[in-house]
Structures are given as C-alpha cells and as structure tokens.
Structure 1
Amino acid sequence: MRAIRGAAPCGGNKTYQRRVLGLAIGYLVTLILANWLTRHFALDGAAAMAVALLPAIPMIGIIVVIGRLILDEKDEYLRMLHVRQMLIATGFMLSVCSVWGFLESFDQVPHVPAYWAFIIWCAGLALGTLYNELKS
C-alpha cells in the first residue's frame, strides 16, 4: 500500500511536493500582491493586465510540475496511477464546469471566474487519489 500512496500527486515524491509547495506559496503571494496593487493604485492598460496575470504564473507552474510528474515517473504502474488520477480530475472538472455553464446560461446560478476550473480540477485530483486508494 505504501507504493500506492506514493503514487498520488500529494504522496511520496519529495521533489514534486517541494515544487508544488513553492509554487502554491508563490500563487498566494502573487494573489495577495495583485489584490493589494489593484486596491491601492488606479491601474489600467498593460499595468492592470500584468498585475491580473501575476497569480496565473505560479498556477501554470503547478500544471507544468504535475505534467513532469508523469514524464519523470520511471515505474509504469505508478505512472498509470498518476494518469488515472488526472483523468478522473479532468472528467470531474469538465462535468462541473459544463453543468455550471448551462445553469449560468439560464440565469440559475451566478457567474464564477474561469480560474475556478483549475481549483475544481485540483479537487478532482483528490477524488482520483481516493479512487486509486480504494481500487488498489
């Protein structure tokens, strides 16, 4: 069971964990900074766009790190568990976003910013981890 637990992106790969933690901290810092700059300065044009994109940079970094997890994994079984977990996350995110989009189109729910898709995908990773744990 230990090898299976290590297969989860939240699991045993220390390099992966350090990279994701560093980028998650970077995301929080840039999000706080972008919000602060927006509240305290009248930004417009390129400056406003650059500030708005700041939190996206570490978020994209996390996506790259997760992709590298698959590419760097030498064990085929563990790689398959990572891929299955990410497929579950992708299906979950697409389902939630599609349902929400239809509800939003018919004015049944409020608009949610698109960056929530990544957050929903990460929640799907947790579901994929649970599935791998129960299935194995």
Structure 2
Amino acid sequence: MALSSATRRYQRRVILLAILYAALLFSAVYLLNRHMVGGAAAYLIGVLPALPVIGFFVAIGLYMTEERDEYLRMLLVRQSLIATGLSMTGATLWGFLEGFDLLPHLVGYAWPILWFGGLGLGSCVNRFVEGRTE
C-alpha cells in the first residue's frame, strides 16, 4: 500500500526531530556532566533536548489533522488513546506509591517514554483488532 502524503510528511518530521533530539541530548549530557556551563546557560541547555520531544507530539497532532483517510486517522487516534491511558495510569499509580514512600522518585521525562511505548502497544492492538474483523 502506498503511503499518503500526510504519512510521508509525518515520517520526515519524526526523522528530523529524532536526529535533532539525539544531537541536543548528547550535547547537553556532555556539557552539563562536565560542568562546562553554568547559570542561565545551563538551564537553556538542559531544556533543549525537551524541544524535539515536544515536537514529536506536535508532529503527531499535525498528522492527525493532515491525514485525509478517516480509517488511518482512526487507527492513530486509537493508538494515541491507548498510549495516553497507559502513561497516565502509570504516572498516577507511581505518583501515589512514590508519595507514600513506597517507590523511588522517577524523573518526569519517563512518562513521555512510556507514552511512546504505548503507541507501539496501540499499534499491536490495532493489528489484532483490525485483523479479527477481516
């Protein structure tokens, strides 16, 4: 099946964002772990790797609005709902257990990682559900 133009644009965006993320993350880790910057510059450098991650969410939203095929859009919406449910459930459970000192602190950027994993799980659910209906 040929990819839609919206899918191709989405894939290009994600590839560019992934390259940018890797470059910014490695640079930030290198500079900050070696205490090569301080003050406001350290905060700026610390935030830079988050920007492509935010861009991933924007790219997914753009894809949802640009995709003309309602079926493909529905599949992405289902994936996103599964990812959101998984990550918010995880954050809620962990937050309560952490609040009662039953689990250690977990850094906040772990939840988007879980969300992206949830997209993968949502893709598996889509394949299972849609394969059953054929």
For Structure 1 versus Structure 2, the TM-score category normalised by the shorter chain is 0.7 to 0.9
**101, 107, 110: which one aligns with 1:107:** 101
Q: Is 2:87 the counterpart of 1:93?
A: yes
- Cα separation, 2, equivalents of 1:95 and 1:39: 32
Name the counterpart of 1:123: 117
Q: Is 2:14 the counterpart of 1:20?
A: yes
2:49 aligned partner, one-letter code: P
Listed as ranges, the gaps of 5+ residues in structure 1 are none
Name the counterpart of 1:45: 39
1:42 Cα offset (Å): 4.9
- Cα separation, 1, equivalents of 2:83 and 2:35: 38
1:58 aligned partner, one-letter code: P
Deviations 1:38-90 (A, max 9, x none): 12235333111101101011111111101111000101121111111101110
- Cα separation, 2, equivalents of 1:23 and 1:42: 25
Q: Greater relative contact order: 1 or 2 (C-alpha under 8 angstroms, separation 6 or more)?
A: 1
Q: CA RMSD in A?
A: 2.0
- Cα separation, 2, equivalents of 1:40 and 1:124: 34
- Cα separation, 2, equivalents of 1:14 and 1:73: 10
User: How many correspondences in the alignment?
Assistant: 129
- Cα separation, 2, equivalents of 1:52 and 1:22: 20
Q: Is 2:58 the counterpart of 1:64?
A: yes
Per the normalisation by structure 1, the TM-score is 0.86
1:17 Cα offset (Å): 1.7
